[in-house]
Amino acid sequence: QKSLHLLSPHQIELAKTLLELGQTHLFEHWAEPGVEDDEKKAFFDQVARLNSSYPGGLESYIKTARELLADSKAGKNPFDGFTPSPHYFLYTLLLNIRIQLWPLIRKADRVWKPRIASFNFMDISQVGDPFVSSRISSSALSWQVPTGDVLTFGDDNFIKFEETGIREAQKAAFVLVAGGLGERLGYNGIKVALPRETNTGTCFLQHYIESILALQEASHSLTQGEVQKKIPFVIMTSDDTHSCIIHLLESNSYFGMEPTQVKLLKQEKVACLDDNEARLAVDPHNKYRIQTKPHGHGDVHSLLYSSGLLNVWRDAGLRWVLFFQDTNGLLFNAIPAAIGVSATRQYHVNSLAVPRKAKEAIGGITRLTHVDGRTMVINVEYNQLDPLLRATGHPDGDVNGETGFSPFPGNINQLILELGPYIEELTKTKGGIKEFVNPKYKDASKTSFKSSTRLECMMQDYPKTLPPTARVGFTVMDTWLAYAPVKNNPDDAAKVPKGNPYHSATSGEMAIYRANSLILRKAGVQVADPVQEVFNGQEVEVWPRVTWKPKWALTYSDIKRKVNGNCSISQRSTMVIKGRNIFVEDLSLDGALVIDAIEDAEVKVGGSVQNKGWILEKVDYKDTSIPEELRIRGFRVEKIEELEKNYSEPGKFSLKP
């Protein structure tokens, strides 16, 4: 009452609302009127912000929180009434695996089909030659059945999808969700500034931007720019990451992208909750503030909706919106083909997935069937999958199936949405995504929390509100090609059960070299086998350290065009290709080779390159004298000897040592 003169009429309304919503405790420890008035005013500014940034305002937030907290206390399963089952997608996966696994396919036919007998399922015997079909025709399936493609890197199908994807890329906009702090990784900086690999030191954000620019260029030259010249790039930030991302972009001239191409949308945090009554938590460091925490990556939909960008993109003739996460250095290996799948299958929603190991910390894609018959194909988050399975007649919970993988493919949170249907849906929902709450209770009475909680939402829950007619599909790629996130700190990574991926800075970097080596192998290069090494307590395969810029090669066809003859690379080698028009032919590499060239220079690289090369020197992650971004990997590159060439004049050149 005594502070009312400080407030605008709108703020007075908000104060009343807070009192009506049972939030009087927020004012309990306030100083006398006239004391600390600035802080009190700042409190109401914060309340106004929290109110305006949440669809429906604080009233709606508290109401939803009370409902979700009551459900959580009652132990109500968030998927109440739904039973999960692996959908036919995994079956298709088996169908598509090549000849070596044919006996397994037979077995899967025996094992899985009876389990999903209630399904209108195509009999494997009708499919004929599994090497001809890479996809079961959806016409044989009822509408609920999700469709999915399982792609095999480098085969004709893959190449076809990549070509379609490159054509379509000019109609795409990219959205990176980068508001998370990465608590599991425990890195002190922003994750997008971490080197994707330390051979070149290229950070994730630079790699993403260079990949988008390379796509733009490739798409443009294939189609002579039917639609747009620049691919829009949106980055969702938060208070935790916003200023650092701006600094990273500005101090690196946007890594070659035009600043107008990049838009930052900052997500706001939401109010924390102290108890089951949804009493808002007072910030432990300031009694005039409400404690806040991130609301989750699901905010990206409401931010895009309210930004007005979607309509601008539609008017510019765009068709696809691609969402991706902050630290997957392999992602762009999968993008061209995945866009190709979306365009070919006309998917409204296409999620990228990889085979998943049980208990792996990535969501599982399931087909949920409700008791009333409704069916929904959706990601079930890793912490919910096991309890859901146990509660619905699978006493062993989340375990590997016959194939050695979880029957539920892993969601890698790379979504491709068709813009038109996306706008239609958001017009209805205003971008609101189904939320959840995850309180950590003090004891079994579930009456108090160990620490405050808050509502959260996830971007992959977008399909939950879609009508049954929506075309929701999946695209599965090999993990080695498409997925290597950097999420876990060295301690936690070293404790990952044997056989499960580490998802650490160490494994993330090694995965780049492995993927590039395997891609070159597929193109006919003799790449030596890897050796096993232990860094930061994690045993990893060390392949030759091969990297290239996205403008050198984005697709398998690019690689085939640029690598010819008899080439070989020894295990201890390093190869860095930077320029666009570099052609590798009859090269024998045993050492380190770094090669760059301006756009107008065409260079043929061959012959025998032999030198002492670059070695990986082990470092201890606890050794704080070493920069954090290096020690979290457990190694650093020591450059002993290399052949380095930079062609800075236009013309044709040949490098043949």
Minimum distance from CB of 172 to ligand UGB (Å)?
19
Please, are residues 39 and 286 in contact by the beta-carbon 8 Å criterion?
yes
CA dihedral of residues 262, 206, 645, 507 (deg, nearest 10): -160
User: With binding defined as CB under 6 A, does residue 326 bind ligand UGB?
Assistant: yes
Compute the residue count for the chain: 657
If the CB atoms of residues 238 and 555 are measured against ligand UGB, the closer one turns out to be 238
- From 72, 164, 325, 403, residue interacting with ligand UGB (rule: CB under 6 A): 325
User: With binding defined as CB under 6 A, does residue 418 bind ligand UGB?
Assistant: no
C-alpha distances in Å from residue 383, one per residue of 179, 389, 485: 21, 11, 18
- From 149, 168, 210, 381, residue interacting with ligand UGB (rule: CB under 6 A): 381
User: With binding defined as CB under 6 A, does residue 352 bind ligand UGB?
Assistant: no
- From 336, 340, 355, 363, residue interacting with ligand UGB (rule: CB under 6 A): 363
Which residue stretch of 20-28, 178-186, 195-203, 429-437 sits at the interface with ligand UGB (rule: CB under 6 A)? Answer: 178-186
Partners of 85 in the β-ladder: 367
If the CB atoms of residues 324 and 543 are measured against ligand UGB, the closer one turns out to be 324
Cβ count near 498 (within 10 Å)? 5
- How many helices, marked H, and strands, marked E, lie in the chain? 19, 31
Identify the CA nearest to 474 among candidates 343, 322, 351, 338: 351
If the CB atoms of residues 439 and 508 are measured against ligand UGB, the closer one turns out to be 508
Minimum distance from CB of 183 to ligand UGB (Å)?
8
User: With binding defined as CB under 6 A, does residue 413 bind ligand UGB?
Assistant: yes
Is residue 134 left, alpha or beta, with left meaning phi > 0 and alpha meaning psi from -120 to 50? alpha
Minimum distance from CB of 380 to ligand UGB (Å)?
9
Which residue stretch of 63-71, 257-265, 290-298, 417-425 sits at the interface with ligand UGB (rule: CB under 6 A)? Answer: 290-298
If the CB atoms of residues 294 and 634 are measured against ligand UGB, the closer one turns out to be 294
Q: How big is the chain by its Cα radius of gyration, in Å?
A: 26
H/E element holding 612?
A: none
CA dihedral of residues 312, 317, 320, 325 (deg, nearest 10): -40
Rounded to whole angstroms, the Cα distance separating 455 from 273 reads 9
If the CB atoms of residues 236 and 577 are measured against ligand UGB, the closer one turns out to be 236
Size of site (CB under 6 A) for ligand UGB: 23
Rounded to whole angstroms, the Cα distance separating 489 from 487 reads 7
Which residue stretch of 147-155, 175-183, 369-377, 551-559 sits at the interface with ligand UGB (rule: CB under 6 A)? Answer: 175-183
CA dihedral of residues 555, 317, 344, 117 (deg, nearest 10): 120
If the CB atoms of residues 261 and 325 are measured against ligand UGB, the closer one turns out to be 325
User: With binding defined as CB under 6 A, does residue 248 bind ligand UGB?
Assistant: no
User: With binding defined as CB under 6 A, does residue 633 bind ligand UGB?
Assistant: no
Rounded to whole angstroms, the Cα distance separating 201 from 656 reads 27
Minimum distance from CB of 611 to ligand UGB (Å)?
38
Pairing of strands 601-610, 582-590: parallel
- From 178, 281, 304, 389, residue interacting with ligand UGB (rule: CB under 6 A): 178
- Per residue, the 3-state secondary structure of 38-64, as one string, reads HHHHHHHHHHHHHHHCCCCHHHHHHHH
- From 333, 369, 411, 489, residue interacting with ligand UGB (rule: CB under 6 A): 411
Partners of 155 in the β-ladder: none
If the CB atoms of residues 171 and 242 are measured against ligand UGB, the closer one turns out to be 242
For residue 530, what is the DSSP state? P
User: With binding defined as CB under 6 A, does residue 21 bind ligand UGB?
Assistant: no
Site for ligand UGB in 482-521 (CB under 6 A): 485, 487
User: With binding defined as CB under 6 A, does residue 379 bind ligand UGB?
Assistant: yes
Which residue stretch of 132-140, 156-164, 406-414, 577-585 sits at the interface with ligand UGB (rule: CB under 6 A)? Answer: 406-414
Rounded to whole angstroms, the Cα distance separating 278 from 73 reads 12
User: With binding defined as CB under 6 A, does residue 294 bind ligand UGB?
Assistant: yes
Q: ∠ CA(534), CA(539), CA(540), 5° rounding?
A: 100
User: With binding defined as CB under 6 A, does residue 151 bind ligand UGB?
Assistant: no
Minimum distance from CB of 363 to ligand UGB (Å)?
3
User: With binding defined as CB under 6 A, does residue 297 bind ligand UGB?
Assistant: yes
If the CB atoms of residues 136 and 194 are measured against ligand UGB, the closer one turns out to be 194
C-alpha distances in Å from residue 568, one per residue of 157, 158, 516, 528, 588: 27, 25, 14, 8, 5
Partners of 592 in the β-ladder: 574
Rounded to whole angstroms, the Cα distance separating 344 from 346 reads 6
If the CB atoms of residues 403 and 414 are measured against ligand UGB, the closer one turns out to be 414
Rounded to whole angstroms, the Cα distance separating 575 from 527 reads 12
Site for ligand UGB in 455-474 (CB under 6 A): 458, 460
User: With binding defined as CB under 6 A, does residue 177 bind ligand UGB?
Assistant: yes
The token pair at 217 is 């260029």
User: With binding defined as CB under 6 A, does residue 236 bind ligand UGB?
Assistant: yes
If the CB atoms of residues 219 and 325 are measured against ligand UGB, the closer one turns out to be 325
Residue ranges binding ligand UGB (CB under 6 A)? 177-180, 236, 238, 294-297, 325-326, 362-363, 379, 381, 411-413, 458, 460, 485, 487
